[in-house]
Every structure is written in structure tokens, then in C-alpha cells.
Amino acid sequence: MRYPESMKVEDKLPGVDGGASTANGTTREVDEIGISRPRRRQPLPIVWARDIAISVLASVVIITFLYQPVRVEGTSMLPRLENHDRLFINKFVYHFEAIQRGDVIVFHYPRDPRLSYIKRVIAIPGDRVEIDRGQVYVNGRPLNEPYVPLQYRDTRSMDPQVVPPGEYFVLGDHRSIASDSRDFGMVARTLIYGKAEFVYWPSRDAGFVR
């Protein structure tokens, strides 16, 4: 059966799933006989409420399972991390990858798990670590530490130690004032719960933690 020319839709552009867009940009639906009709849209308040709910849910999931905001208390990680800096720590990354030398980690203080510390991993399980008048050696080789400026170095020494399985040797970047594995010993893997990723406040310190 043929329909009159007046019933044909000549200005439609290719659509998806039976839809079509008119030349003036209005979205329309096309019925089986070629007559177009406007598509019903949801009221704006409903759309806004839906988008806000999705955003809030996504934020809760990310903060709860992936990232957590924390505040730095103290200056043992100067110059990169300053007192009261706020940063995100990744709580999920170590479920998929191993802790590496150089990672800045957050962990429960071995002598009081109610407290949290942030330090840099210097040696991993099986490494032999020693310190000679401030120079750190890992497996017999001097460690290059560009994150420790000259003014933050010290002259402390430590006899050679082998890091036991499931434990890590950590140091603060501000060596002359930091309390770290030289004082409280190795950190068990079970105490480590995050990796420092990104400083978000204050803006002058914003950036990735390296």
C-alpha cells in the first residue's frame, strides 16, 4: 500500500533504535508508517535528582573502597609532605600489586596500632639494609635518594639487617627528625593499609606523591 507524499518524513537524519533527529535538532520517534512524534522527556528535577544520587553513590564507593582522604600530622616527610597537607591514599592498590621500594605508605604504628604513620619504603623482604653515617645501603649498594635534600640528611648509622618475610624497612624523608624503622623496627605487611597518591590541599602542594 502506498501512502500520500504528505505523510513522508523527508527531513529526518539517521537515528538509532527507531529514533530520528530533525534538521532543527529536536529528537523525535518515528512510528511504523513514517509519521514522526516528539519523544517524551523526564522533568528536569527528576534528572537532576538522579544524577546527584549517582554522583553521591559513586563518591561513597570510591572513598570507602578505593581512596581515603587523610591529613598529615608532623614534618617527618618534608620536603614533599608538609604538616597539615591533605592527600588521598589508595587503599586498594596493594591487593593487585606488590609494595615497592620508594613507595610512600600509610600504616598503623607498630607500637600503638591506634596511630597511623606515613613513611617511605626503603627495603622490602629479603633485602639487606644498613646505614653508614647517613648513607643508606641496600644489598650492598648505596641508595640514591633525591627526595632527601642535603639539609634534611643526618649522620646516624645502623648495623646491617636483613628484612624478614612479610615486613618492610621504612624511613622518613626528613632524616634528622624522623622516627622510623631505625627507632621502632620493621613494619609488618598486615599493618600497611594504603599508598599515598595525591596531595589535594593546600593548592601550592597539590600533585602526585613521588
Q: Which of 119, 176, 195, 203 is catalytic?
A: 119
The number of folded domains in the chain is 2
Catalytic residue check, 181: no
Catalytic residue check, 119: yes
Domain that holds residue 83: 68-208
CB 195 within 8 A of CB 106: yes
**Claim to verify: residue 76 and residue 14 sit in the same structural domain:** no
Write the DSSP string, 36-66: EEEPP---HHHHHHHHHHHHHHHHHHIIIII
Residue 179 domain flag: yes
- Which three three-digit cell numbers place residue 135? 648513607
List the chain pLDDT tens, one digit each, 210 residues: 444 444 333 333 344 334 444 444 444 443 344 445 556 676 777 777 777 878 777 666 666 568 889 999 999 999 999 999 999 999 999 999 999 999 999 999 999 999 999 999 999 999 999 999 999 999 999 999 999 999 999 999 999 999 999 999 999 999 999 999 999 999 999 999 999 999 999 999 999 999
- What's the pTM value of the predicted model, to 2 decimals? 0.72
Residue 51 domain flag: no
Q: Which of 76, 91, 176, 195 is catalytic?
A: 76
**Claim to verify: residue 103 and residue 201 sit in the same structural domain:** yes
**Claim to verify: residue 32 and residue 74 sit in the same structural domain:** no
- Which three three-digit cell numbers place residue 98? 606488590
